[in-house]
């Protein structure tokens, strides 16, 4: 069976914010750029921050790390709270949209949805599902696919061809019940990165991003955007 393919999204707050508006989310939370990890640059990010999305290159070093991480968690186990909303990625290039869904789904209590929000409808219907069922449901959910498609054309760079091989990938970092989770639809489960809080979430999430950068010190293609109170 052929894997469905979407056009990739840019890690650009204008694009992601417009995407969320089209999905029926009031702009009380907005994505903003995170320009760097030192305290001065982090102090420019409005607070509170409820999610962070990282765009990073999928390299051989990263893939080797990912396989090792998965084996180690399967062997040792980890705590994942039942309230964590996680979905698999079965659509090629849909990682930006899945990152957005992860960011919003795990902060549903804070987000203001419009009455007929297509994203709220998707979340309400998919909460009882398992991660694989959520992925399959997204494949058939036209309202999100169409919005993704138009957002993919909104970026500052020309959208690549739908058949281009893209080696950049989005993940979301969220705080659920005081634990920082990495949510990546290419992985079999959420990754528990330890304790966090509303006040320290941005700094904690940036520490996780730094590890991604340290694994690939020759790479420059990293980009982080934070979902912050507007």
The catalytic residues are: 95, 169
Question: Which of the residues in the chain have pLDDT under 70?
Answer: 1-2, 155-166
Q: What is the pLDDT of residue 215?
A: 92
Q: Which helix (H) or strand (E) holds 13?
A: helix 13-22
Dihedral sign, CA of 196, 35, 20, 186?
Answer: negative
Which architecture characterizes domain 13-229 according to CATH? Answer: 3-Layer(aba) Sandwich (3.40)
Is residue 201 within 8 Å of 106, Cβ to Cβ? no
Query: Residue 202 and residue 196: Cα distance in Å, rounded?
Result: 9
Q: What is the pLDDT of residue 157?
A: 58
Q: What is the pLDDT of residue 10?
A: 82
β-strands 168-176, 223-229: how paired?
unpaired
For residue 90, how many other CB atoms are within 10 A of its CB? 16
Q: What is the pLDDT of residue 147?
A: 86
Report angle CA 96, 100, 102 to the nearest 5 degrees: 115
Domain layout of the chain by residue ranges: 13-229
Q: What is the pLDDT of residue 146?
A: 87
Burial of 49 (C-beta count, 10 Å sphere; 0-12/13-18/19+): buried
Task: Please report, to the nearest 10 degrees, the dihedral formed by the alpha carbons of residues 212, 172, 58, 39 taken in order.
Answer: -30
């Amino acid at each position: 069976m052929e894997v469905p393919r979407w056009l990739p999204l840019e890690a650009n707050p204008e694009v992601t914010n417009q995407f969320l508006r089209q999905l029926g989310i009031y702009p009380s939370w907005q994505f903003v750029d995170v320009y760097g990890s030192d305290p001065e640059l982090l102090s420019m990010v409005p607070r509170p921050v409820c999610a962070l999305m990282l765009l990073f290159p999928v390299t051989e070093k990263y893939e080797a790390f990912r396989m090792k991480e998965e084996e180690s968690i399967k062997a040792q186990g980890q705590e994942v709270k039942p309230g964590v909303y996680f979905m698999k990625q079965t659509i090629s290039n849909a990682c930006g949209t899945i990152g957005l869904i992860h960011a919003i789904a795990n902060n549903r209590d804070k987000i203001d949805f419009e009455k007929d929000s297509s994203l709220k409808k998707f979340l309400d219907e998919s909460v009882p599902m398992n991660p694989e069922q959520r992925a399959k449901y997204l494949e058939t959910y036209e309202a999100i696919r169409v919005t993704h498609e138009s957002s993919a054309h909104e970026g500052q760079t020309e959208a690549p061809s739908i058949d281009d091989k893209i080696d950049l990938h989005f993940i979301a970092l969220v705080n659920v019940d005081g634990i920082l989770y990495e949510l990546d639809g290419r992985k079999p489960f959420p990754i528990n990165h330890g304790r966090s809080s509303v006040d320290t979430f941005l700094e904690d999430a940036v520490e996780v991003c730094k590890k991604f950068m340290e694994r690939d010190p020759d790479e420059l293609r990293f980009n982080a955007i934070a979902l912050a109170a507007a």
